[in-house]
Amino acid sequence: MTTQPEIQLSLSFKHAQRAFAAMLDRTSSDAGDVFGARTALGALDRGDQVRLTRWLAWQVLARNPAALARIERTDARLAAQVLRDRAALPVGGRPRSSAALPRTA
């Protein structure tokens, strides 16, 4: 029997996730929320940025489109990546066909 290793998330990722969750959970975000999310975003390495983008894509899909506007207010490039990742998420429980996925060299 083999076991799967537990996913280890960095402290900077956890901090960024909490900052964005706080911003998305409030009825309206203020400048302090945006500043906290931007600060946390700056501390992430490339792998953590990818994880955060994927998590935010799920948040936008599960919550509401207004979440994307708040992400865009924080960082426009991050919002663009969230849109790309959201397009790849399964909608209605069915993933996109592999022919529709972009190919890389």
The percentage of the chain sitting over the pLDDT mark of 90, rounded to a whole number, equals 40
* Integer CA distances (angstroms), 64 to 19, 24, 57, 59, 84, in order: 18, 10, 11, 8, 16
Q: What is the pTM of this model?
A: 0.76
Distance CA 7, CA 83 (A): 25
Report the Cα–Cα distance between both ends of the chain, in Å, rounded. Answer: 37
Q: Which value, to the nearest 10 degrees, does the dihedral of the CA atoms of residues 88, 64, 66, 57 take? A: -30
Q: What confidence tier does 38 reach under pLDDT thresholds 50, 70, 90?
A: very high
Strand partners, 94: 91
Write the pLDDT tens digit of every residue in 55-95: 999 888 887 768 888 999 899 999 999 999 988 888 665 55
Mean pLDDT of 19-44: 87
Mean pLDDT of 16-43: 87
